[in-house]
Chain A
Amino acid sequence: MLSIGLRVVGMIALAVAAASATGQRSWTAESVDPWPDLVRDVFVGRPLADGTGLIAIEMPARAEDAGIVPVTLSAIIPPGDKRVAVAFTLVVDMNPAPVAATFKVGPGVTTISTRVRVNDYTNVHAVAELSDGQLYVVSTFVKASGGCSAPMAKDSEEATANLGQMRFRQFTGSSAGPEAQIMIRHPNNSGLQRDQITHLYIPLFIVRELRLWQGDQLLLEMQGGISISEDPNFRFSYRPNGAATFRAEAIDTAGHVFRGEWPAQPAG
């Protein structure tokens, strides 16, 4: 449905450079709003309708830690409307690589929560594609700064030792319905940090793709960028289909493939 591009150069960089020249970076109405260009580039002419009442995005108004900002995307389609969400795109407008992730979702996956890096005060847009092919958009505003260029791991040595480890959890007791969570150890290095000793950029090293199956049913397919936080973490609702196992596969930019398999818990 959608492609991820890295917009390192272009309007955002120019706007940042202009703001820096005046001695401060502040997001004001006069600053360039990157959203219209993003819409054109990412959604390539497809119309975006107002998603209020159909989809939702939740984020804290102010991030405590710009490197780990929680976000929840939901489909809240009213009972009379037979459509379902088949994909979500999460865009952190002011980030160097604004398209944080795209998610293709299977039956019953109506909410997805993850954590993102936020580099500056910014609008965050969620675009959902429904089963009729129509795109809908909602947005929120987050105050945070420095997520993408902030120092990554709190413990660099441990990050290397644990690369690719996965955890899978199932939450079956909630009244909101069953949820599952897939987590993978990965520094998700943005490639935007410069090593002051070598003066080289610490290379891009991220989880590019992650898939999760319930039996043979693909529940979640994530294509991710640098805006996903270290140790990518995705929690989502789903409908149990009686399969005996869940399976996950993740691929990073170095070509590593990580896999996991877990038995399905009986519904609580």
Chain B
Amino acid sequence: MFFPQHFNSLVRISAAFCITALAGTTASTFSQQSIDPLPISEVAPGVYVHFGVNELMNAENYGAIANVGFVVGADAVAVIDTGGSVREGRALRQAVQRVTDKAIKYVINTHAHPDHVFGNAAFEGPAVFVGHHNLPRALATNGPFYIKAFRREMKSTLDDVKIVPPTLVVDDEVKLDLGDRSLALKAWRTSHTDSDLTVFDPMSGVLFAGDLLFVQHVPVLDGSVIGWLKTIDDLARIAATRVVPGHGGMGDWPDALAAERTYLRRLASDCRDLIKRGIPLVQAADIAGASQKSNWELFDEYNKRNATAAYSELEWE
């Protein structure tokens, strides 16, 4: 069951008997009113996170595979990523409304991937959508492709998904004022993707790293392995104490970077070695990074693709 924790007592009793039935139903059998708020944890005062499952996006998990959250200030709320479906986005919005009646002033997307932006339509309204300066173009070129590509897995849970681009873009750094607290947003060089943005809350010391940090879930390379390794070094200098990664559990900062750095370094050095020895791409995809398998979830789903991407990038060094 994809919303395991957050039921009122009546539903909790019936849920035990309803799990198989509910898992089989589709989004269309629920009216908007009966969507439960997304389960969230208050990881620091005023800082809330829903931790996604380490799975591929599909109809059963409603695309809720990424970490999404929000920060409540004295005057306003900022949402950070909206999830992998409009249903998840609506549930997140309900979760905000359960915690505070302050208005959602900003909806920040950490990058263009579907598990972080497909819930955007649930937040359309007065809120200002915020993202990296490359995000509008990334959404314009990638958006329709993702919607088409995920139809097979997501089926009707893809309904209502709209590409909602940012109206406020971050060239380098931007501060968002929520009243008594101010979020520091930073746009990065091409790393995980070419539209990566982080959100730092100095009041709590919590850094929302977006997919610049993967924990437990194998990192997914869709940008530049060289850029990402440089960005990791720069990220480590941010004066955060804890981090919310794009996928996986919270961690201490900057220690939480270590495992990902090891993986990407190994991927790169394996590729460089294979390139130097003249091993062609098709063989390299099976070898590069393979030694790291036991450290990561979803490794078989992503490592060969990562290896293909890293190899074809590093061939040009």
Does chain A bind chain B? yes
> Which A residues are closer than 8 A to B by beta carbons?
24, 58, 60, 64-65, 68, 70, 72, 113, 115, 145-146, 149-152, 154-158, 162, 165, 167, 169, 171, 173-174, 179, 183, 185, 193-197, 202, 231, 233, 235
16 A-B contacts, Cβ less than 8 Å apart?
A: A113-B280, A115-B312, A145-B149, A150-B145, A154-B222, A156-B137, A156-B141, A157-B134, A165-B316, A167-B316, A174-B278, A193-B141, A194-B144, A196-B139, A196-B141, A202-B141
Using CB atoms, name the residue of chain B closest to A155. Answer: B190
A171 to B138, CA, bound (A): 38
A195 CB contact (under 8 Å) in B141, B278, B282: B141
Beta-carbon contact of A171 and B278 below 8 Å: yes
Beta-carbon contact of B224 and A173 below 8 Å: no
What are the 7 A-B residue pairs with the smallest beta carbon separation, nearest first? Answer: A70-B282, A196-B140, A171-B278, A64-B304, A64-B305, A155-B190, A151-B142
Beta-carbon contact of A158 and B141 below 8 Å: no
User: Is B256's beta carbon under 8 Å from chain A?
Assistant: no
Given contacts A151-B142, A155-B190, A196-B143, contact A167 B315 (CB under 8 A): yes
User: Is B308's beta carbon under 8 Å from chain A?
Assistant: yes
A231 to B316, CA, bound (A): 10
Q: A24-B152, A64-B304, A72-B282 are in contact. List 20 more A-B contacts (CB 8 A).
A: A64-B285, A68-B309, A70-B282, A113-B280, A151-B142, A151-B145, A152-B141, A154-B193, A154-B313, A155-B227, A156-B134, A156-B137, A156-B141, A157-B134, A157-B190, A158-B190, A165-B316, A167-B315, A169-B278, A197-B137
Query: Which residues of the other chain, A, contact B152 by a CB distance below 8 angstroms?
Result: 24
User: Is B223's beta carbon under 8 Å from chain A?
Assistant: yes
A154 CB contact (under 8 Å) in B149, B224, B285, B316: B224
Closest Cβ–Cβ distance, residue A262 to chain B (whole Å): 16
Query: Which residues of the other chain, A, contact B163 by a CB distance below 8 angstroms?
Result: 196
Closest Cβ–Cβ distance, residue A154 to chain B (whole Å): 5
Beta-carbon contact of B278 and A197 below 8 Å: no
Closest Cβ–Cβ distance, residue B58 to chain A (whole Å): 15
A183 CB contact (under 8 Å) in B138, B143, B194, B315: B315
Number of A-B contacts (CB under 8 A): 92
- By secondary structure, the B interface counts as helix
Closest Cβ–Cβ distance, residue B175 to chain A (whole Å): 25
Beta-carbon contact of B278 and A68 below 8 Å: no
Closest Cβ–Cβ distance, residue A17 to chain B (whole Å): 14
User: Is B83's beta carbon under 8 Å from chain A?
Assistant: no
Beta-carbon contact of B315 and A233 below 8 Å: yes
For chain B, the count of residues having a C-beta within 8 Å of the partner chain is 36
Query: Which residues of the other chain, A, contact B222 by a CB distance below 8 angstroms?
Result: 154
Query: Which residues of the other chain, A, contact B143 by a CB distance below 8 angstroms?
Result: 196
User: Is B98's beta carbon under 8 Å from chain A?
Assistant: no
Given contacts A65-B308, A196-B139, contact A154 B281 (CB under 8 A): no
Beta-carbon contact of B316 and A183 below 8 Å: yes
A64 to B285, CA, bound (A): 9
Beta-carbon contact of B315 and A197 below 8 Å: no
Query: Which residues of the other chain, A, contact B278 by a CB distance below 8 angstroms?
Result: 169, 171, 173-174, 179
Closest Cβ–Cβ distance, residue A115 to chain B (whole Å): 7
Query: Which residues of the other chain, B, contact A68 by a CB distance below 8 angstroms?
Result: 281, 308-309, 312
Query: Which residues of the other chain, B, contact A158 by a CB distance below 8 angstroms?
Result: 190
A162 to B224, CA, bound (A): 15
Closest Cβ–Cβ distance, residue A155 to chain B (whole Å): 4
Beta-carbon contact of A115 and B315 below 8 Å: no
B297-317 with Cβ < 8 A to chain A: 304-305, 307-309, 312-313, 315-316
User: Is B148's beta carbon under 8 Å from chain A?
Assistant: yes
Closest Cβ–Cβ distance, residue B157 to chain A (whole Å): 15
User: Is B52's beta carbon under 8 Å from chain A?
Assistant: no
A257 to B313, CA, bound (A): 23
User: Is B136's beta carbon under 8 Å from chain A?
Assistant: yes
Query: Which residues of the other chain, B, contact A156 by a CB distance below 8 angstroms?
Result: 134, 137, 141, 194
Using CB atoms, name the residue of chain B closest to A152. Answer: B141
A96 to B134, CA, bound (A): 29
Using CB atoms, name the residue of chain B closest to A183. Answer: B315
Beta-carbon contact of B148 and A149 below 8 Å: yes
A144 to B138, CA, bound (A): 22
Closest Cβ–Cβ distance, residue B192 to chain A (whole Å): 10
Query: Which residues of the other chain, A, contact B224 by a CB distance below 8 angstroms?
Result: 154-155
Query: Which residues of the other chain, B, contact A149 by a CB distance below 8 angstroms?
Result: 145, 148
Chain B window 226-270, contacts with chain A (Cβ cutoff 8 Å), 1 for yes, 0 for no? 010000000000000000000000000000000000000000000
Closest Cβ–Cβ distance, residue B189 to chain A (whole Å): 9
Beta-carbon contact of A70 and B281 below 8 Å: yes
Query: Which residues of the other chain, A, contact B134 by a CB distance below 8 angstroms?
Result: 156-157
A158 to B148, CA, bound (A): 27
Given contacts A154-B309, A231-B316, contact A146 B194 (CB under 8 A): no
B223 CB contact (under 8 Å) in A154, A162, A183, A195: A154
